[in-house]
Each structure stands twice: as C-alpha cells, then as structure tokens.
Amino acid sequence: MANVVASITDEYDVNWNQKLGTGISGPVRVATKRSTGENFAIKVVLDRPKARQEVQMHWMCSGHPQVVSLFEVFRNELQFPGESESQCRLLLVLELMDGGELFYRISKQHGFTERHAAATTMQIALAVRHLHSMNIAHRDLKPENLLYKNSSEESPIKLCDFGFAKHDNGDLMTPQFTPYYVSPQVLEAQRRHRRDRTSVATSTPYTYDKSCDMWSLGVIIYILLCGYPPFYSEHPTSRRAIDRSMRRKIMSGTYQFADREWGRVSNRAKDVVKKLLCVDPHERMTIEELVQHPWLTEEAPDTLLQSPVYMSNKANMQETALLHDGHLKKMRIPDRPTNLKPIESAINPILCKRKEISRQGGIHFTAHEAPIVDHPSAKSLRDVIAKCMYPKREIDNPQAEVETAIQVAVKENSENKVLTQILEENSWNGDKFDTDVELMDLAHQFKTILESLSTTKLYMYAKE
C-alpha cells in the first residue's frame, strides 16, 4: 500500500509550515500535486504498528461519499526541526477538507433548524453504516472528526481520523475515547484495565463492541439539537478528563431534556436520542435502525434551534486558548502573589457551590479584600505546567521531562485529591504515564490544581 521507494516531494509540493490540524497520531499539512495542481491534505505519522493499522482501516473505508478519501501513502525518512536525527514516517495523502469542523460550521449558521439537524445526522449515520457493514468500529466519533468538504451550503460532511478504528471481532478491550462521547462500556473497560494493572486478573477479559459508536452518535445528535452535551463534569478539570460525577451520569445514562432548549424539539428526535443513549448495548439502537427511523426518513419539523448560540463558545476556542496561554506564562514566575476578588463578588462555580452548601449548613461567609499568598507546594505544580508548555527543544521525549517534574509535584502534594484524580485519569502508574498524553491538556489540568489550592485557602480564610 505504501510507496516505499518514491519521495513524496517528487510528486507533491508540501507546505511543511502550514498545519491544518492535528489528529490522534500526527499533524496534517497542505500539499499540491505537481501534475494536476490539485490540493490535498498530508497527514504525517511515525511508522509504527498502530499507524499502519490506522492506514489499513482508513484504506478499507475510503471511497464512500461520507468518508474522507485516502489516495496513497508514502514511507519516507524525515527530520523535523528539533529532532536529532531523521525518522521513518508514513505520509497519508488525503482528500482536502477545508469547510470546517461540524460544530464550528453550525455555530456560524443562522436559522439552523431541526430539519437541518436531521439531514446532518443522516450523513453521519451513512458514514457509520459504511464502517459497521465491514465490522469496523471507529471508536472516536466526535465533531472534530466530522468535516465539511468546502464552504458551500451543499457541502457534504465526511468522517476522518481512523487512529482508533479497529475490526470488531468481539475483542475490543482498549479504553480509547474522548470524554464527552464515551459510552458506558468503554468506561467499564477502562475501569477493568486499571484494576487488572494492579492485581492478578482472574476473570474473563471485559470486551465491548461497535455499539460504542452508536452512543457517541447519540451524544452528537443531542448537541446538534440543543447545543451542549448530555453528560458533563460538575467540577471540570479538562475537556479530556472525567470526574466521578460525569462518570456516574454516563454509567447510569442520566441526562435531561431541559424544557428551555427541548420544549420545541419533536418527539421523534427525542426518541432517537433516548434509543442511542441507552446504557445496555443490547438494547441500544443499531445503525440500520437509525437510518430507517422516521425522524430521518420523513421530513423533520422546520423548527429553529438554539444550538448555534451555545456552540459559539467552541468557535471562540482559539481566542480562549491564547488567553489561557498568557495565564500559564504568568504561572511560571515562582512565588507570584495571587490577588483574589472578594468571595461575594467572584464569579466562580466552585466558590458558588461551596457558598450555597455552607449557607445550607449555617456557615456564614464574609468578604475579605486581601491578597492570598501562594501555597508552599505551588512551585512544583507550576514547573509541570511550564514543561508541558515549553519543553526543551533538544529533548526527544518531552513527556519524560514532564513525568520527572510530576514525580516532584507528587511528593510535595501527596495529599492533594485533585492531583491524585487527574493523574489517575491520565493512567499514571506512580513513575510515569502508561500512555501518551496531550501535554497542553495536562497543563490545563494542572492549572486547575493551582486554582483548587487558592480556592481552598480562600475558603479557610473567609470562614468564621
């Protein structure tokens, strides 16, 4: 399948400085084919068994109208800036999708209706049906992996990124997921996986199947109709992290149809969501049942939805990330005093929740306009954030550098429950992570730990 002889630069002009985005396993760049002048997307991944499996899965699924096409694969030695030597990489030549991600595109629409949501769902469902007909589970259905071909209103939506895709032979065990869209069965697989790492496995290995895709599709449809996810954390740490409250909601299938957003949504649409967000995978709607459901086969109501308004926060993510980056740079300065607003004027969900609980318990709060000095162990946490954000360029494995910093932070924060929870969610084994982690996300999570230290100190200071 891969062209191991030719160099991709013999046939394509690749813009190595322009990144369209980054998938599970590697960045995506733009290239122009010299013979035709046509533009393509080039995904670059290290040549490893996992990457070869991704190529195989994508190659099998390519060719369907709702799947991003994979045209050819090169196997070349490449050396990028900051690397000490060249490495063997696979370069996937993909159909260029420059119409934007699903939710970003919808956030920009005026007049998005339930009929539009149904039409959008049908396109996604056809892609999933194509995969499931070949007994392939995608395992990472989410809006970032659903792209528009171009900016026209008639542009098709296509499924991409097969980094987690695998044949469903009844042996799916690996807990691969994105939190908002993960099914109860995959979370259970994660729980068993952690348990078996620390004890001798005595029972039959726990497995799940491609019905996990149907749950994820149910979450996407829910968001299409109202603009926010059905399951979310009451105390969010990161978009990749799941706390106990969120896990409990997913495992029990606890969500709501709030009247404000769902009052005008049709019963047929709600029926689809209910049958997809079914905890029991044997009772969950299959892809064939979905594409034959009346909500998709008959004309859906032309009711205006509020979802684009809520999705606009996703569209402003770049601005938010830049602001967040500024905050992280400030955290790198050791022993920096933190000035907090008075409790009664601070708009902070954690403080508001604690304030309400305290009121119920008869505890009185008073405002104090006083600076709160740093917690003694804050510096080690800031060091972790700094190494996540600004790893040394000459280091081949930035994650190892971060892991060393975390070992120090753990010693100085051994009783911090937020830190323990975050490390557990990222598969920390006491010395290092068992899997690759997103360092930017980890930095965001450690920022939450710093905030929890400040919040705790403020709480103790204000309680009389």
Catalytic residue numbers, as ranges: 140
Question: CA–CA separation, 454 vs 128, rounded Å?
Answer: 46
Give every CB contact of residue 71 below 8 A, 6+ residues apart in sequence. 40, 93, 94, 95
Question: CA–CA separation, 380 vs 111, rounded Å?
Answer: 49
Question: CA–CA separation, 279 vs 211, rounded Å?
Answer: 11
Token code pair at residue 8: 């991709």
Closest CA to 118 of 269, 279, 242, 340: 269
In eight-state DSSP terms, residue 416 is: -
Closest CA to 219 of 272, 287, 166, 155: 272
Token code pair at residue 52: 């070869």
Question: CA–CA separation, 175 vs 178, rounded Å?
Answer: 10
Question: CA–CA separation, 110 vs 430, rounded Å?
Answer: 50
Distances (CA, A) of 190 to 237, 317, 435, 452: 19, 29, 13, 26
Do residues 136 and 167 lie in contact, with contact meaning Cβ atoms separated by under 8 Å?
yes
Question: CA–CA separation, 306 vs 324, rounded Å?
Answer: 27
- In 242-268, which positions are buried (b, 16+ CB within 10 angstroms) versus exposed (e)? bbeebbebbbebebebeeebbeebbeb
Do residues 163 and 140 lie in contact, with contact meaning Cβ atoms separated by under 8 Å?
yes
Backbone angles phi, psi at 428, to 5 degrees: -80, 130
Q: DSSP of 50-112, one letter per residue?
A: HHHHHHHHHHHHTTSTTB--EEEEEEEEE--TT-SS-EEEEEEEEE---S-BHHHHHHT-SS-
CB-side neighbour CA atoms (13 Å) of 418: 19
In eight-state DSSP terms, residue 158 is: E
Distance of alpha carbon 375 from its chain centroid, rounded?
31
Do residues 158 and 105 lie in contact, with contact meaning Cβ atoms separated by under 8 Å?
no
